[in-house]
Amino acid sequence: MKTFTIKSIILIAAISFFQNKIAAQVINWKNISKQNKHLLNVNVGAEYGVTAGLGYHHLIPVKKFPIWIGGEFSTPGGNKPADDFKVRLGAQIKIAAFNNFQFSARVQGISRRFQNQSVTLFNFGSDFAGTLGYYRKHWFLGAEAGFDKAIVTHFKHSDWYKENIYFNVQDGWYEPATGGNFYYGLQGGYSMKKVDITLKAGKLLQEDFKSQPLLPFYGQLGVNFRL
């Protein structure tokens, strides 16, 4: 009985779903101004684990198509806080607007690390997403869909792994791409003068459109501070 079970997967998914814990910066495009060009974000949620994150974005006010550029850092739960983490750098841009409906796109480069007693992984990836939403000054609601690709990954196995599991395991950079997951879901939020409270939740699906990650949902509860 050395592996996870369907029941465990359901349990993990149910806990994450019903706790409404929810992951990347959610922006109210209708509530931005040239006076508040800095956006700080703190969040907790579930994204391939129970996570906590920090983000910073800077507004480049290009007339009708404002761009937020910045980055986010997140780490999952566990008693070794620095062994796993994810850093995303990129931009979110408003592409089209019709009355209160707006369509925006997000393009991010990702670097992330995973470590357990067997292996240390370091990966470079990308994240492309689109969001179509209805935005008002004090609230917004939207639907998002995106693709997270693990482009190239470095594997470095521990002595323990080589002594106990597989002596001839090959360390080094693995390519072509080692993985990819689609995600889709809903996001929304309530905006006050300089603070947004945001929520998003959705589902994850592996690139074969059939398999699911062990934790097949994501979610994030976040707070934006506009400075």
Choose between 36 and 178: whose C-beta lies nearer to other proteins.
178
Secondary structure class of 159 (helix, strand, coil): helix
Binds other proteins (CB under 8 A): choice among 11, 42, 192, 227: 11
Nearest-angstrom CA–CA distance, 127 and 97: 23
Q: C-beta of 96: minimal distance to other proteins in Å?
A: 30
Q: C-beta of 83: minimal distance to other proteins in Å?
A: 8
Tokens of 38: 């800095």
Q: Where does this chain touch other proteins (CB under 8 A) — which range of 24-32, 34-42, 91-99, 169-177?
A: 169-177
Binds other proteins (CB under 8 A): choice among 49, 56, 103, 197: 49
Tokens of 27: 């922006």
Question: Would you count residue 150 as binding other proteins (CB under 8 A)?
Answer: yes
Peptide bond before residue 76 is cis, with ω within 30 degrees of 0: no
Question: Would you count residue 100 as binding other proteins (CB under 8 A)?
Answer: no
Choose between 54 and 96: whose C-beta lies nearer to other proteins.
54
226 CB contacts (<8 Å, ≥6 apart)? 31, 32, 36, 38, 39, 194, 195, 196
Nearest-angstrom CA–CA distance, 226 and 120: 37
Nearest-angstrom CA–CA distance, 125 and 88: 9
Nearest-angstrom CA–CA distance, 156 and 164: 15
**Which among 93, 103, 98, 97 has a CA at the least distance from the CA of 70?**
93
- C-beta separation of 85 from 53 below 8 A: no
Q: C-beta of 75: minimal distance to other proteins in Å?
A: 9
Question: Would you count residue 208 as binding other proteins (CB under 8 A)?
Answer: yes
Binds other proteins (CB under 8 A): choice among 63, 99, 176, 193: 176
Binds other proteins (CB under 8 A): choice among 34, 63, 64, 80: 80
Nearest-angstrom CA–CA distance, 102 and 125: 27
Q: C-beta of 97: minimal distance to other proteins in Å?
A: 31
Question: Would you count residue 8 as binding other proteins (CB under 8 A)?
Answer: yes
Question: Would you count residue 99 as binding other proteins (CB under 8 A)?
Answer: no
**Positions that interact with other proteins (CB under 8 A):** 1-8, 11-12, 15, 48-50, 76-80, 84, 86, 112, 114, 116-119, 121, 123-125, 148, 150, 152-153, 155, 160, 162-170, 172-176, 178-181, 206-208, 210-211, 213-215
